[in-house]
């Protein structure tokens, strides 16, 4: 099947009351871990590349690595649908570059602009993308935390206004919408109790029936990885994510795409730290990166089966 857009994936996810996982990719081991997990659970999967990932790895490398994963699957007779998506596209030019180079989906993140500017920019990307068979995710509302180089404080985070969301989708023609209901990027999401505004999600679902909603900042920050990091020389006390039962609830509602990056970082770091501490004689990167890749695979399988519910939906 190779690379596809997320259109049919989201239609099925909406009807079926589950969500598709969108995992951030930065290198070969991450891509392999995620794709192996999706293969073993027969799940659709979205591989997403941020502007930071493009800067780190070089856009050509990442695209070719994802294409390699699709080619290996084809050769092995594995038929899972995969989307290659731009995460938090900062401007029209980056979206255009990804569309021109074979991405099947792009996000234009105009949430830093005011409503009218966000509408205008999103519309421009939608026109360019749709003419080339590519789908577009947009964002309305601000998440707390770090988005690339932009730091949004908790008090400045703005929940998405449901009436504005309805108007935004109708005026821009975007294919999915990222909303702010209390999640945030990174590993420190809540100081006290975790709280998400399911009332806002429900109201948006009513105003835009059948329309796919995206949840960013949706890592659950597994406490076993936090403990491993801290035990083996790390220092990330108090890291806390979105409880998995909240993600499951969102997946049964209008949320069709759930974004996960921090959990991949934690799984890799915890395992590499453990390897360095327990086996100080190891200096072959394949040993510790191999262990990290297995940890990514196991974590993604758990998400697919126990949280997102998209296993056997390929
Ligand atoms: O939304 C943020 C993602 O976790 C990507 O992070 O910009 O550091 O690659 P990054
Ligand atoms: P996390 O930091 O919660 O993994 O969020 C990732 C994300 O939203 C990527 O766009
Ligand atoms: Zn995000």
Q: What is the block-wise mean pLDDT of the chain (314 residues), using blocks of 10 residues?
A: 93 98 98 98 98 97 97 94 98 98 98 97 99 98 66 68 98 98 97 95 98 98 98 97 98 98 98 98 98 98 98 98
Q: What is the pLDDT of residues 69-113, one digit of tens each?
A: 999 999 999 989 999 999 999 999 999 999 999 999 999 999 999
The finding on whether 147 has its CB within 6 A of some atom of ligand 2 is no
Out of 79, 87, 156, 311, the active site residue is: 87
Specify the pLDDT at position 142.
86
Q: Which atom of ligand 1 is nearest to the CA of 88?
A: 1
User: Can you read off the two tokens belonging to residue 306?
Assistant: 């126990």
Name the residue among 201, 268, 285 with its Cα closest to residue 228.
268
Query: What are the residue ranges spanned by the domains of the chain?
Result: 7-308
Is residue 142 within 8 Å of 113, Cβ to Cβ? no
The CATH architecture one would assign to domain 7-308 is: Alpha-Beta Barrel (3.20)
200-220 pLDDT, tens digit per residue, is 999 999 999 999 999 999 999
Radius of gyration of the chain (CA): 19
88 lines ligand 1 (CB under 6 A): yes
Ligand 1 nearest atom to the CA of residue 261, by list position: 4
The DSSP 8-state label assigned to residue 76 in this structure reads T
Atom of ligand 2 nearest to the CA of 183: 3
Distance 160 CA to ligand 3 centre (A): 15
Ligand nearest to the CA of 111: 3
* Ligand 1 site, residue 184, Cβ cutoff 6 A: no
Contact 260 CB / ligand 2 (< 6 Å): yes
**DSSP result, 191-245:** SSS----HHHHHHHHHHSTT--EEE-S-----HHHHHHHHHTT---TT-B---HH
Q: Is the CB of 107 under 6 A from ligand 1?
A: no
Q: Is the CB of 87 under 6 A from ligand 2?
A: yes
Within 10 angstroms of residue 109's Cβ, the number of other Cβ atoms is 26
CA 282 / ligand 2 centre spacing (Å): 31
Q: By alpha-carbon position, which residue is closest to atom 3 of ligand 1?
A: 261
Q: For residue 176, report the distance from its CA to the centre of ligand 1, in Å.
A: 19
CA 187 to ligand 2: nearest atom: 2
Q: What angle do CA 213, 48, 248 make, to 5 degrees?
A: 40
Query: CB–CB of 296/272 below 8 Å?
Result: no
Tokens of 293: 């890749």
Catalytic annotation on 149? no
This prediction has a pTM of 0.96
Q: Is 265 in the pocket of ligand 2 (CB under 6 A)?
A: no
């Amino acid at each position: 099947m190779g690379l596809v857009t997320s259109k049919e994936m989201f239609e099925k996810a909406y009807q079926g009351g589950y969500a598709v996982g969108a995992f951030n990719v930065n290198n070969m081991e991450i891509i392999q871990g995620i794709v192996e997990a999706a293969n073993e659970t027969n799940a659709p999967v979205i591989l997403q590349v941020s502007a930071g990932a493009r800067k780190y790895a070089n856009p050509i490398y990442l695209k070719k690595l994802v294409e390699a994963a699709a080619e290996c699957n084809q050769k092995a007779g594995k038929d899972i649908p995969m989307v290659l998506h731009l995460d938090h596209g900062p401007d029209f030019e980056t979206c255009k570059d990804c569309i021109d180079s074979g991405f099947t989906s792009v996000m234009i993140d105009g949430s830093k602009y005011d409503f009218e500017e966000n509408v205008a920019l999103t519309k421009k990307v939608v026109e360019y993308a749709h003419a080339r068979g590519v789908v577009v995710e947009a964002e309305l509302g601000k998440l707390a935390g770090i988005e690339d180089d932009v730091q949004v404080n908790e008090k400045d985070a703005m929940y998405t206004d449901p009436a504005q969301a309805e108007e935004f989708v109708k005026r821009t023609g975007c294919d999915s919408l990222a909303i702010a209901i209390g999640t945030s990027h990174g590993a420190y999401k809540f100081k006290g109790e975790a709280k998400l505004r399911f009332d806002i999600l429900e109201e948006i679902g009513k105003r835009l029936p059948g329309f796919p909603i995206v949840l960013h900042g949706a890592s659950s920050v597994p406490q076993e990885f936090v403990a491993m990091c801290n035990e083996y020389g790390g220092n990330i006390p108090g890291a806390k994510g979105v409880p998995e039962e909240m993600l499951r609830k969102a997946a049964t509602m209008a949320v069709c795409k759930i974004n996960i990056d921090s959990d991949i970082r934690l799984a890799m770091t915890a395992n590499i730290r453990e390897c360095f501490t327990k086996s100080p004689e190891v200096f072959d990167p394949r040993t510790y990166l191999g262990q990290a890749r297995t940890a990514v695979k196991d974590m993604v399988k758990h998400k697919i089966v126990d949280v997102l519910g998209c296993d056997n939906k390929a």
